Structure 1
């Protein structure tokens, strides 16, 4: 029997378009954790800053969703795949003795469940984020272990929030407690990461040169490890881990076909309009999942504490300024407009995934896409009863069109553990988790 791989599929069919996940390809790549005939699970987390106007978010009753609240009307067409979670808490976004800095802590704790070290220096410290736990469990099946994207660039140093490094309020994904993964905001560069360049005569020579450089780097770095201070050894070890990760990616790339030609043209630049930027990022994320370029992604719609104005919504005020509304009805109305716009981007992602057939269902049925904020009411800066929603999972045992009310102070990390379990990744703890939620 001939071996059926992605390379032979692309060559044998004589095409250069991206292939969706195929059962035969899954078996060929040794995806033993996935039952025969079942597409793989994809996981993604989307983040919005400054909390939301909760009266327009929270469903009035528990259980089956009746009329959707104003902000959630963006999901009407796909409500059968929507689950709203109430009662979840990001305790490590609270001060816990560290004083002001709620915005920085909100984003850094969202996927880690860990207290960020209060510093504006290089000695940053948080915890591994759930997306990177997922990437370590299934990233070896795809060209990219994970994809980190966003619509606002952020500094990786300096003081951005009451003594907290800018990295905390701009970064959601953490490879380790001291290794934040910066997001990419340029759609063209995201496109290049996903699809690269076609085969050419110099590719193998370039790969050999890269391998030679990496070998030299590893040898030199290993040789000086015993000659540096203890603190520097940690940094050196993280550096070596990054080099090894590049080596592993190069090795994976040799076993995969050349990056396929996508169904959209390479973006020329970052769109000037924020809404167009977000829509383009959604389209790229859909392609990333559809072509199985990655199965794990994070998407920061705007940095925590963002004071962006939304002129196109007739909201000229800064978002962060408005979030401190002091119960002013006019400001709350403007916040609600921003919330509805952001929810619409999430809805766009879900609708596009739902339109793609995969296996016996849709691509959305085999995804779990979480959406929310590490702040609840931006005026109060509270981190309990967070606005959290999940789309997808109908083929993973998740029943949609529901509002699930959890006990007060239930750690948000408990939900992330449940999402990992649905993806076949067994993890007993993450940050401040206390157990596994039933989703």
Structure 2
């Protein structure tokens, strides 16, 4: 029997024309800045994550250094060989400290800390994620400190197979150890939130920042707060304060005028093109092929970087244990998670490779999009770092050792791409994060379980 103080994760604060999803609260019932880097152009950082691992024997190139031969799964990136690094033998050690196969390897991929093992809403990632560390340093000069995007809705309930809440499946970005940042999964909502008011000639149907969202939901928030325990009241107050702070920055007339004034003609053309594509997509979308939706979300990320709406973003292709149907790919006839448990069956392994290749195609698409966005004598890609990884090496063995990690971009000349680098076995993944922080001139010599920087990456 449900108690008065128990509420659903779907519970919304609703007002006229406005709604807000709540943060994770204990009362939710389970169904079952330093200055930015000195540079002519700002530096951007993105973290792109794929669930379920890769074929372990067709990922890492045999030769170390430059001029290596491509493996099957990396082939979609062959024409971009000089633009990214392949990083071998990195490991997220703290993801091994529970019996879980997936969730605590996804949720802590960007924190490199130990997840609290729980079936409830008292989730804890063990620390702040690296994207938020960066956002805390460079996000002050943009409309949005960071952006969190993905394809799947929040997972709820308990996975009885491992005795863990599925809430860990959905989040890789953590503002605090107990506050995950909810990802946006709808291209139109993501675009309108960022750019709706700036599209030349477009009429804004529903500007989410036209009036205060908090003002619209205030009565509902007060009513809800009276029915929460003290701990949840504090959480809700903290959450509403953070939304109000962001809302104030976005709606500030000076910020809006400054942002609008810096939109170049090329950026405005891209705004018009992408807005029209999203409007058309919203009318006709159907089927299981998520390629178009994925590329629209990546387009929005790229445009956010180009326009300097934000300099930090994450993108989660699928939640933990995602069994997305990839039958839209020739030769694939099952879901991602099912195929990842291949049991060394050659037919399933062949499909596993095709699914990873599709993800590499999307990664290549994002790189090419950023390269097409001119910025002075350079381009947005050259002033970026774009990490790609999965939380597992091999989905069949749930192995987080020797993770499949790529790092694309030049970070304004601070990164030396074009190499296949193999480190000592079980080198902390956090060492990469420390290296990225140095590339951004963020003075932080350690992160989570790091033991130092990675060699041969920084120029």
| TM over 0.5, shorter chain | yes
CA–CA separation in structure 1 for the residues paired with 2:55 and 2:35 = 44
- Counterpart residue number, 1:172: 172
Query: How far off its partner does 1:249 sit?
Result: 3.9
Query: How far off its partner does 1:312 sit?
Result: 1.5
Aligned pairs for 1:319-334 within 5 A = 319-334=336-351
CA–CA separation in structure 2 for the residues paired with 1:132 and 1:426 = 15
Cα 1:282–1:257 shift into 2, 3 Å: closer
- CA RMSD across the alignment: 3.2
- Counterpart residue number, 1:275: 291
Query: How far off its partner does 1:350 sit?
Result: 0.7
The TM-score with structure 2 as length reference comes to 0.79
Q: Which whole-Å deviations, capped at 9, do the CAs of 1:188-217 have from their partners, x for residues lacking one?
A: 0010121032599999xx979639949x89
- Counterpart residue number, 1:119: 118
CA–CA separation in structure 2 for the residues paired with 1:58 and 1:202 = 48
Q: Which whole-Å deviations, capped at 9, do the CAs of 1:378-432 have from their partners, x for residues lacking one?
A: 1111111000001111633222210111111111111112112212222233222
Aligned length: 400
> Is contact 2:44–2:411 with CA below 8 Å preserved after alignment?
no
Cα 1:352–1:90 shift into 2, 3 Å: same
- Counterpart residue number, 2:435: 418
> Is contact 1:84–1:390 with CA below 8 Å preserved after alignment?
yes
> Is contact 2:214–2:244 with CA below 8 Å preserved after alignment?
no
The TM-score with structure 1 as length reference comes to 0.82
- Counterpart residue number, 1:85: 87
Mark the runs of 5 or more structure 2 residues left unpaired by the alignment: 1-32
> Is contact 1:58–1:69 with CA below 8 Å preserved after alignment?
yes
Cα 1:365–1:115 shift into 2, 3 Å: same
CA–CA separation in structure 2 for the residues paired with 1:133 and 1:118 = 24
Cα 1:120–1:255 shift into 2, 3 Å: farther
CA–CA separation in structure 1 for the residues paired with 2:424 and 2:76 = 27
> Is contact 1:325–1:379 with CA below 8 Å preserved after alignment?
yes
Cα 1:287–1:198 shift into 2, 3 Å: closer
The one of 293, 296, 304 equivalent to 2:320 is 304
Matched, 1:382 2:382: no
CA–CA separation in structure 2 for the residues paired with 1:201 and 1:378 = 46
Cα 1:263–1:31 shift into 2, 3 Å: farther
Q: What SS does structure 1 have at the residue aligned with 2:85?
A: strand
- Counterpart residue number, 1:104: 103
The one of 35, 38, 43 equivalent to 1:35 is 38
The one of 57, 60, 63 equivalent to 1:58 is 60
Query: How far off its partner does 1:179 sit?
Result: 0.6
CA–CA separation in structure 1 for the residues paired with 2:454 and 2:445 = 12
Query: How far off its partner does 1:237 sit?
Result: 3.5
Q: Which whole-Å deviations, capped at 9, do the CAs of 1:120-139 have from their partners, x for residues lacking one?
A: 32111012111111111111
- Counterpart residue number, 1:190: 190
Cα 1:123–1:349 shift into 2, 3 Å: same
CA–CA separation in structure 2 for the residues paired with 1:240 and 1:291 = 27
> Is contact 2:144–2:246 with CA below 8 Å preserved after alignment?
no
